[in-house]
Amino acid sequence: MLVVKTKNLSKIYRGYRGFLKKRETLALKGLNLEIKRGEVFGLLGLNGAGKTTVLKILLGFTSPSWGEFELLGEKGINNHVKKKIGFLPEDPNIYNFLNAEQFLDFCGKLFNLSSKERKIKTEMLLELLSLTSAKKIPVKEFSKGMVQRLGIASSLINDPELIFFDEPLSGLDPLGRKRVMDIILNLKEKNKTVFFSSHILAEVEKICDRIGILHKGKLIASKDMEEIAAGEVSLEDFFLQTVRG
């Protein structure tokens, strides 16, 4: 089953430069993607390539200028689909007056989980992300890595079928990156689908089934990791060769 499918997905940002001078930026050009259930897919690209724009469209934060997409077999995104999705934004902005336990409980309420379900899920996720000892500490006292781990925990509170991670390894120390990579692989074992963007190519290489490379808003490559490995090149070398043309 296809979990994510896009057809000619495109986005133009319009604005003004100087005195009433129109400016248009084509951030995404005719994206065609198909991602299967149980797949770990990595979307790669240089800064400004359009990775975050793709996520914003798929999650309903912005509308495409043209093109269409399907998630979990349904056209576009609606409340029914949103209940089955988890999302970690780049640099998650978490209510800093709450502690970790309170924040996960709040997230559980958004998905109408019962009090018992919220307690069980909260305890499990705090343990999974090594935050149990810090569960009563206000988020404003967290390090960047701790905020990142709490953001990942919150994205899993509803036991989603499809998870979008925007730079999930950002701000994490080596131990934290290993833990998150293990979580992603565990999600795959449970037949969940993970769609994420990252700049840390050495780590992507270890966990992805397939990667796509965006460059200046256009998908210029989509490859199985086995195919890249068969060419006896690292993902980093393949990426650099591809974006340099």
Choose between 228 and 232: higher pLDDT. Answer: 228
In the chain the first and final C-alpha atoms are separated, in Å, by 33
- pLDDT, tens only, 108-165: 999 999 999 999 999 999 999 999 999 999 999 999 999 999 999 999 999 999 999 9
Query: Which pLDDT does position 17 carry in this prediction?
Result: 64
Q: Which helix (H) or strand (E) holds 4?
A: strand 2-17
Would you place residue 214 in the very low, low, confident or very high pLDDT band (cuts 50, 70, 90)?
very high
Contact 114, 71 (CB under 8 A): no
Would you place residue 21 in the very low, low, confident or very high pLDDT band (cuts 50, 70, 90)?
low
Predicted confidence (pLDDT) at residue 170 exceeds the cutoff of 90: no
Q: For residues 162 and 185, what is the distance between their CA atoms, to the nearest angstrom?
A: 14
Query: Which pLDDT does position 199 carry in this prediction?
Result: 83
Predicted confidence (pLDDT) at residue 18 exceeds the cutoff of 70: no
Predicted confidence (pLDDT) at residue 60 exceeds the cutoff of 80: yes
- pLDDT, tens only, 67-112: 999 999 999 999 999 999 999 998 888 998 999 999 999 999 999 9
Span 163-185, mean pLDDT?
A: 93
> pLDDT exceeding 90 applies to what percent of the chain?
83
- Provide DSSP, 215-243: ETTEEEEEEEHHHHHHTT--HHHHHHHHH
Predicted confidence (pLDDT) at residue 19 exceeds the cutoff of 90: no
Return mean pLDDT, the chain. Answer: 93
Query: Which pLDDT does position 20 carry in this prediction?
Result: 60
Span 206-226, mean pLDDT?
A: 94
pTM over cut 0.85: yes
Structure tokens at 116: 């018992």
Span 193-211, mean pLDDT?
A: 91
